[in-house]
């Protein structure tokens, strides 16, 4: 059986390394057919239009201090000196005193509120609602660009140490934190997981990590497949006749009103996309910076997630990551899920909807008694 089984999702067994098919929920047929039409690209706008009707009517643009009944949302809580060093925290008043904490690290330019188009503003609050509805406290991190190879990882470290120190005030358990990254968010998280010198006094600070549709990060000596031309936003918006905010000449249609350019949820600046500067590091430097050794022995569990309709180069990286970690230690082999019918964007936009193809396995991973 291969990773493209006709079952609704495929999971690589943690010990045996075999592909196991388990029946699970799938995208509604009309949405799945639309995702197939969009194809294996990154298309936030058209995907948002598919999933937005499955969300609550109110969202962050509704001018309500608390748009989700029973959930308290704390916006833009600072964890560091930069204006973008902020998180949104989702919690409820009832429930156990110490609840599991789910931290989400977004992809793209790093916005914790998707700003490609107004219909996308419901995301990523869906991650926060999903967590609270399953007895957890959610922390949505705002990312920022860094000119250094480990700058984003240092931000993740600062954020996690703030969470450890303060999440108890929101009913969270600082000793039971899971962290979930999507797309470009995998680069700072993957780097953080591999750098013990960045960890806090309590170590890595997490019980498990979900690396979903990951942009390639350093796992030398494994060869990382390069991002293929046309994989990203080139064809986005075509199937629904919309332009894509951050890729359009006029900026982002979904930016929150009143937020300055570069601010959390505001129009992006060109500097938000600056890659690390300087010449390519030598092979020896790359090997010294690799996250692979720690991923092979880290005291945390890993779940790697891809969508069947992910761009091919991202699928290739996820499989390379999985196989490279497994190669040294089968007992530490990550679980690997390829969600049938899901795309790069639907993987995260489907959360907190009737489409449980991704949220179901993620929840099972978090709740596993290990």
Identify the residue with better confidence: 139 or 2: 139
Tell which residue, 29, 51, 72, has the closest CA to residue 123. 51
Domain ranges for the chain: 9-367
* Segment holding 306, helix H or strand E: strand 301-309
Give the pLDDT confidence score for residue 193 in this predicted structure: 98
Q: H helices within 197-341, ranges in order?
A: 283-289, 292-297, 312-328
Q: How far, CA to CA in Å, does 30 sit from each of 34, 53, 308, 350, 360?
A: 6, 13, 17, 14, 20
Confidence at residue 119, expressed as pLDDT on a 0 to 100 scale: 86
Assign domain 9-367 to its CATH superfamily: Alpha/Beta hydrolase fold, catalytic domain (3.40.50.1820)
Q: Is the pLDDT of residue 139 over 70?
A: yes
Q: How far apart are CA 86 and CA 82, in angstroms?
A: 8
| 102 vs 272, residue with greater confidence | 102
- Tell me, what's the pLDDT at 230? 53
Least confident window among 11-20, 266-275, 319-328: 11-20
Alpha-carbon distance 137 to 88, whole Å?
11
Segment 66-113, tens digit of pLDDT: 999 999 999 999 999 999 999 999 999 888 889 999 999 999 889 999
Please name the residues in contact with 150: beta carbons below 8 A apart, sequence gap of 6 or more: 191, 195, 198, 289
Instruction: Specify the pLDDT at position 242.
Output: 84
């Amino acid at each position: 059986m291969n990773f493209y089984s006709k079952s609704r999702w495929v999971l690589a067994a943690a010990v045996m390394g075999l592909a196991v098919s388990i029946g699970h929920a799938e995208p509604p047929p009309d949405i799945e057919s639309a995702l197939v039409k969009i194809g294996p690209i990154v298309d936030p706008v058209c995907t948002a239009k598919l999933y937005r009707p499955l969300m609550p009517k109110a969202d962050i643009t509704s001018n309500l201090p608390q748009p989700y009944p029973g959930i308290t949302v704390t916006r833009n809580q600072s964890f560091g000196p930069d204006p973008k060093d902020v998180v949104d925290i989702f919690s409820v008043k009832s429930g156990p005193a110490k609840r599991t904490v789910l931290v989400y690290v977004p992809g793209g330019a790093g916005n914790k509120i998707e700003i490609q188009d107004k219909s996308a503003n419901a995301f990523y609050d869906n991650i926060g609602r999903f967590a609270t509805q399953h007895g957890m406290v959610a922390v949505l991190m705002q990312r920022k660009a860094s000119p250094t190879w480990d700058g984003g990882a240092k931000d993740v470290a600062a954020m996690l140490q703030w969470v450890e120190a303060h999440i108890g005030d929101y009913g969270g358990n600082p000793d039971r934190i899971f962290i979930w990254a999507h797309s470009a968010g995998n680069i700072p998280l993957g780097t953080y997981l591999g750098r013990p010198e960045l960890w806090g006094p309590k170590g890595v600070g997490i019980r498990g990590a979900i690396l979903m549709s990951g942009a390639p990060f350093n796992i030398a000596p494994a060869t990382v497949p390069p991002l293929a031309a046309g994989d990203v936003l080139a064809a986005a918006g075509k199937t629904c006749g919309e332009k894509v905010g951050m890729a359009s000449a006029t900026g982002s249609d979904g930016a929150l009103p009143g937020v300055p350019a570069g601010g959390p949820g505001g129009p992006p600046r060109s500097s938000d996309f600056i890659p690390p500067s300087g010449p390519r590091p030598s092979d020896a430097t790359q090997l010294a910076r690799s996250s692979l050794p720690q991923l092979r022995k880290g005291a945390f569990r890993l779940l790697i997630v891809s969508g069947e309709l992910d761009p091919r180069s991202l699928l290739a990286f996820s499989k390379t990551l999985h196989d490279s970690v497994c190669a040294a230690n089968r007992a530490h082999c990550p679980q690997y899920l390829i969600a049938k019918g899901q795309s790069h964007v639907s993987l995260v936009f489907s959360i907190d909807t009737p489409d449980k193809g991704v949220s179901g396995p993620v929840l099972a991973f978090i709740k596993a008694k290990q």
